[in-house]
């Protein structure tokens, strides 16, 4: 029992911690927005353009890396992409040039894009198909998001935006964790063929082999596209709130930078709880019911963020975070099971394109906020989770190999072997019985 537990939790723990170090940089870009506005006098639209740069690059590039990992395993991407993602953000505050800032955060976006498809494939292998284990892997990313505003605020407080090179530290730690995770996954025992056929885990053992980690079933593109549409709705809400919640809460509560940073921290931290809860709820109630309930909960929660005044707003932010994050890891496993022949592509789209494409809406939200107010610009976000729920309501659980007709079982009991002496004694006993 202890050996099995160590085999399954050790690699997942390392992958989760590495995931946290990478996703610090996804959260850091949004956390830097208020400082760009205050120190460089950027407009809302200009500041959100920086979020767009990292999101758009990640959106376009991540599915490409996913397609590559469907053909070839590229575990070396994990430490390398972690370093690239961290270096880009670390350089974001060095120069006052808007163009250079866009360039370095774009490089960070490429690093983040390269990391996620391969890491999701590795986590699927290490998790043995467990929703709870994948939830722990996703939890790492959420903790990275949650840590980002606190880390950015602490670093920028020491020397303004020019202190941003200190933000490279999580990338260095993450690269070391990723290297350790690769060794741990490579040491896992090979998965028996019967287990792979059941759909519980991918067809490739650990680090080696091709990138296709799903059971050899049919790709359900129609269901995958509906799921992707729902994730896009979720992404626009999440990225829109990430970019502007700090500034919005300052206005609504009359607080300073601390109040805005606290709101962003709550938005990200609630996801840490929601992701693990989502895996456990899915084990008990099924993935799709949990995902639908989450989208339904998010509608009134976002309405509360936009409309509720004063400190109660923080409670609405926490509910919004839970609604957005409970289905997060379930999105990934559903997508992988809808496209069992293209697990890397499914991971790249759900973790990359569908999630990051929300950044495309950022400049539009910023432009509306510049022309009217942040409250007016954020109000349309209330309707998007409802649209996501509408897309999800017709989906069915992905077909698994044990869902169809079963073949008659074939006895595979190994022959019983006896030592020669015992065999001779048995033969003589039978002869005596026959003679008697």
Quick: pLDDT tens for 74-98: 888 899 999 999 999 999 888 888 8
In a domain, 414, yes or no: no
What string of DSSP letters covers 347-376? HHIIIIIHHHGGGGGHHHHHHHHHHS-HHH
Q: What is the C-alpha separation between 252 and 122, in angstroms, rounded?
A: 43
Predicted pLDDT at 383: 96
What 3-state DSSP class applies to 148? helix
In a domain, 355, yes or no: yes
- pLDDT digits 0-9 by tens, 370-423: 899 989 999 999 999 999 999 999 999 887 654 443 333 333 344 444 444 444
27-41, 194-208, 257-271, 296-310, range with greatest mean pLDDT = 296-310
How many angstroms separate the first and last alpha carbons of the chain? 51
Q: Is 414 exposed, middle or buried (0-12, 13-18, 19+ CB in 10 A)?
A: exposed
Residue 392: CATH number of its domain: 1.20.1250.20
Q: Are 242 and 236 in contact (CB under 8 A)?
A: no
Q: Are 63 and 339 in contact (CB under 8 A)?
A: no
Query: The pTM is what?
Result: 0.64
In a domain, 297, yes or no: yes
Q: Measured at the alpha carbon of residue 124, what is the angle toward residues 121 and 130, in degrees to the nearest 5?
A: 165
Strand ranges inside 1-49, DSSP E: none
Question: Higher-confidence residue: 427 or 101?
Answer: 101
In a domain, 420, yes or no: no
Q: Are 232 and 350 in contact (CB under 8 A)?
A: no
What 3-state DSSP class applies to 306? helix
Which residue range forms the structural domain that includes residue 34? 2-187+206-399
In a domain, 416, yes or no: no
pLDDT grade for 189, boundaries at 50, 70 and 90: low
CA 268 to chain centre: 13
Give the CB-side neighbour count of residue 362, counting CA atoms within 13 A. 31
Instruction: Tell me which H or E stretch contains 176.
Output: helix 169-186
Residue 112 has pLDDT above 80, yes or no: yes
Q: Are 106 and 54 in contact (CB under 8 A)?
A: yes
In a domain, 27, yes or no: yes
Structural domain count of the chain: 1
Mean pLDDT (the chain, rounded):
78
If we measure between CA atoms, which residue out of 207, 175, 164, 180 comes closest to residue 81?
A: 175
In a domain, 229, yes or no: yes
The two structure tokens encoding residue 428: 């003589």
CA 102 to chain centre: 24
Residue 307 has pLDDT above 60, yes or no: yes
In a domain, 409, yes or no: no
């Amino acid at each position: 029992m202890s050996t099995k537990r160590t085999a399954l939790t050790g690699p997942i723990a390392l992958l989760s911690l590495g995931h946290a170090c990478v996703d610090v940089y996804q959260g850091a870009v949004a956390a830097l927005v208020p400082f760009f506005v205050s120190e460089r006098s950027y407009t809302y639209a200009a500041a959100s353009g920086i979020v767009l740069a990292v999101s758009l690059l990640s959106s376009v590039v991540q599915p490409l890396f996913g397609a590559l990992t469907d053909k070839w395993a590229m575990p070396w991407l994990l430490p390398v992409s972690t370093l690239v993602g961290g270096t880009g953000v670390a350089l974001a505050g060095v120069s006052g040039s808007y163009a250079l800032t866009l360039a370095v955060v774009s490089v960070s976006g490429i690093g983040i894009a390269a990391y996620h498809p391969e890491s999701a494939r590795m986590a699927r292998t290490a998790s043995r198909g467990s929703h709870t284990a994948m939830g722990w892997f996703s939890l790492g990313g959420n903790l990275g998001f949650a840590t980002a505003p606190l880390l950015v605020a602490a670093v920028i407080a020491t020397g303004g935006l020019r202190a941003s090179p200190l933000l490279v530290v999580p990338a260095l730690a993450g690269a070391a964790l990723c290297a350790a995770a690769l060794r741990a996954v490579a040491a896992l025992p090979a998965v028996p063929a019967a287990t792979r056929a059941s759909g519980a885990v991918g067809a490739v053992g650990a680090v080696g082999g091709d990138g296709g980690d799903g059971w050899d079933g049919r790709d359900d593109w129609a269901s995958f596209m509906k799921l992707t549409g729902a994730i896009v709705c979720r992404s626009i809400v999440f990225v829109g709130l990430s970019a502007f919640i700090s500034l919005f809460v300052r206005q609504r509560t009359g607080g300073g930078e601390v109040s805005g940073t606290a709101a962003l921290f709550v938005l990200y931290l609630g996801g840490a709880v929601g992701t693990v809860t989502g895996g456990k709820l899915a084990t008990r109630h099924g993935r799709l019911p949990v995902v639908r309930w989450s989208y339904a909960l998010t509608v009134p929660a976002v309405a509360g963020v936009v409309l509720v005044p004063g400190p109660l707003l923080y409670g609405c932010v926490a509910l919004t975070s839970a609604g957005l994050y409970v289905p997060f890891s379930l999105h990934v496993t559903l997508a992988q099971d809808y496209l069992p022949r293209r697990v890397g592509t499914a991971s790249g789209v759900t973790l990359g394109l569908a999630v990051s494409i929300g950044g495309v809406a950022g400049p539009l939200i910023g432009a509306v906020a510049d022309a009217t107010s942040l409250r007016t610009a954020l109000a349309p976000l209330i309707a998007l989770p409802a649209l996501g729920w509408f897309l999800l309501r017709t989906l069915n659980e992905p077909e698994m190999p044990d869902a169809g007709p079963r073949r008659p079982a074939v006895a595979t009991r190994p022959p019983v072997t006896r030592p020669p002496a015992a065999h001779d004694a048995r033969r003589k006993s039978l002869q005596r019985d026959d003679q008697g």
